[in-house]
Chains A and B, each alone.
Chain A
Amino acid sequence: MALLRAEWIKIRSLRSFVAGLALGALGVLYCNVNAVVADNSARRGGRLHGGGGVFTNNAHIVVLYIFGCIGAMTVVSEYGSGLIRTTFAAVPARTEVIAAKAIVVAAVTAAAGLVTYVASFVATMILAGQTRFPSGLLASPDFQRAISASVLLFPLSALVGLGVGVVVRHTATSIVGVSLLLVLLPTFVTSEKRAWVNDLHNATPFAAWQQLVLPSQAHMMPPPGMMLPPPPAGFANPTNNGSWLVFLLWPLTALVLALLAIRRRDV
């Protein structure tokens, strides 16, 4: 617990971190609100009723990139300044330091995600002229799944970023690594000919999030910007369970790699 407190002090004492968090959240809010403003049917309440209006594609790309970078910076800033030596001389149990950092980063970014989506929802309700919360929305499994995935995408991105940061240790290279892994890989890795490439695409957090926010019932329209063409016959469609597995395995793998790297390497 004391280590968690130490990592919490490190995070909250940096204005740059707090500012990055706030700007990232505002960026997501802007994307979500903008999508609703641009969409007349949402203004009439059609999409909002399904909850789809606040889950926009642009916002999730912002989350992957900005919060991935924020996660990376929490460790890379220590390597860049040389503080990491002071940290590990004070706590030779390096894996405990990284684990504590991961817990704090995950908690802080998850809170940021929750606040961002509550704000998005309130803002879109106001824009759509709704004064009462759509009844039954919170109980809808579609909405529950979509809001959980959207909020969890924040800590997922940050933890993958943290893992990249520990392994790479350099600022610019880490930022490139985060962009490649979280944003560019899923965009490049698509194929209408090879099934395994299609599977690989489905195994990215990018694709997993898109799957998890799709309404299951046909009468609810998918969120704006998410009219994806169906995969060719014989190709695997992403599934909800598979996508949750992706949400679990990505940050887990990043953490395991980070812990393995930190154990034996010279600092």
Chain B
Amino acid sequence: MIEAQELTKHYGRTTAVDHLTFAVRPGHVTGFLGPNGSGKSTTLRLILGLNRPDHGRVTVAGQVFGEHRRGLRRVGALLDATGVHGGRSARDHLAALAWSNGLPRGRVAEVLAEVGLENVARRRIGGFSLGMKQRLGVAAALLGDPPVLIFDEPFNGLDVAGIAWVRGLFRRLADEGRTVFVSSHLMSEMAQLADRLVVIGRGMLLADESVAEFAARGGASSASLEDVFMKLTADRLDYRAGGAK
């Protein structure tokens, strides 16, 4: 369970996150949606204690995450698949993380097999494709077998098979009773995956509801989730091509 109350973060004069209140429940895959620059990544960093809120608070299982000494057994996170040192092997990258949290040694091999990277475990990450780095990031998130998992844009760079695999994995993790929070700027990715949606625009909450409730916003017309999303965020876009604003 992730709970944000009145969460607010400013960068200079810009308000990245603006009085956000929402809850992410266990046992579901919750999609975290918003246009580019809407504050999704900032919100995830606030959840993980990497950034401090200017106002409000966010808790994981009732506690502020940054107050724990070790994190991997509580929350697994994939924030940025390219945030790895290219000179290190996949196995060393995960081994350092595992040691830092006192996790059993066998976990590294287990998660590498889980994401399908066991054959390249000794290769340097610098030679990995973006899709392979995403898999490595998922492996790092799974390392501590945590009840809460956060993924920021996990589909970037994955091929069709990879996307299908990730969907299946997220479904399974949610069915095991875990909290799965997945950010994306593409509604189409979420439509087949999420049970619930948290939608933000310009740092403000636009929707926090089930996918069915969200679809019902389209009314009697056969509007797709994509259409509803576009309509909802239409006046919350910071960056729009073609000069129209």
Contact = CB atoms under 8 A, between A and B. Distances in A.
A16 B124 CA distance: 12
Interface in B50-101: 50-52, 65-72, 75, 77, 79-80, 82-89, 92-93, 95-101
Contact of B97 (A84, A86, A266): A86
A219 interface: no
A5 B98 CA distance: 10
Contacts of A266: 45, 50-52
A92 B95 contact: no
B162 interface: no
A6 B96 contact: yes
Nearest to B97: A90
A14 B50 contact: no
Interface in A69-87: 77-78, 81-87
A103 to B, nearest CB: 14
A89 interface: yes
B87 A15 contact: yes
A91 interface: yes
Contacts of A83: 83-85
Nearest to B70: A91
Contacts of B49: 88-89, 92
Chain A interface secondary structure, helix, strand, loop or mixed?
helix
A93 interface: yes
B127 interface: no
B48 interface: yes
A81 B70 CA distance: 22
Interface in A186-244: none
A14 B96 CA distance: 12
A132 interface: no
B102 interface: yes
A14 B124 CA distance: 10
A114 interface: no
Chain B interface secondary structure, helix, strand, loop or mixed?
loop
Interface residues of A, number: 31
A6 B82 contact: no
A130 B69 CA distance: 56
Contact of A90 (B70, B87, B89): B70
B79 A14 contact: no
B204 interface: no
Nearest to A264: B52
* Among A10, A77, A267, residue most surrounded by chain B Cβ atoms (within 10 Å): A10
Given A13-B89, A78-B85, A83-B84, A89 B77 contact: yes
A77 B85 contact: yes
B102 A2 contact: yes
A86 B101 contact: no
B95 to A, nearest CB: 5
A225 to B, nearest CB: 37
B78 to A, nearest CB: 9
Interface of A: 2-3, 5-7, 9-10, 13-16, 77-78, 81-93, 96-97, 264, 266-267
